[in-house]
Structure 1
Amino acid sequence: MTVALMWEARAVPGRGADLLAWAQEHLRELPGQPLRHETFRAPQDRVLVITWWDAPYDADLPELPEPDGELITRAVHRWRFESLGTG
C-alpha cells in the first residue's frame, strides 16, 4: 500500500521563502526515505509538502515537525491518505 502524508503551513507574511527552506532542510533530515516527495508553494506564503511511503495506512511514519512559532501564523495542517493509483 502507498500512503501519502500531506503537511501544510502558512508562514508569517514575507517569510514564505524561509518556510520553504525550512521544510526542504527538514525533508533531508527525515529518518528513512519516502518513495518520493513533492513540495509546493502558494499565495499567502503557504508551503505544502507531500511524501509517499510504502507502508500500511496506520504505520508510524516520520513526518515534518512543527516549525518555530516565529515562522508560522498557525498550527501546521496534516492529512494522511491512501493512494488509489493514477488515472
Structure 2
Amino acid sequence: MPKRRTFAAAEHQAVYDQLRTMTPRPDPEKLRGMGGGGNAYAVGYTQPDAPNRLFPRGSRAYAHWAAGVDNARDDSKAAGNPASNS
C-alpha cells in the first residue's frame, strides 16, 4: 500500500489523494508553468530528494508538492531504483 500523508484540511487531503491515485500519473512537464499546484507537483516529482523550501506546510501547494514527491518515490521503487527509499 502506498504511503499516505494526512492533512488537517479536507480540501488538501482530497487534492493529495486524487494526485496519488491518478492513473496514469500526471506528467510533470505538462504541469510545469501552469502555476500554483501544477508547479508544486512538478517540483516535487522531479526533485523528490530535495528539501522543501518553497511550500509552507499546511498549504494547498504543499499537498501538491507532497503528492509529487511520493509519486516519484513510488515510481522509482517500481522501476527498481532503491535510491529513493524514504
Tell whether the structures are fold-level matches, with TM greater than 0.5.
no
TM-score between both structures, scaled by the size of structure 1: 0.24
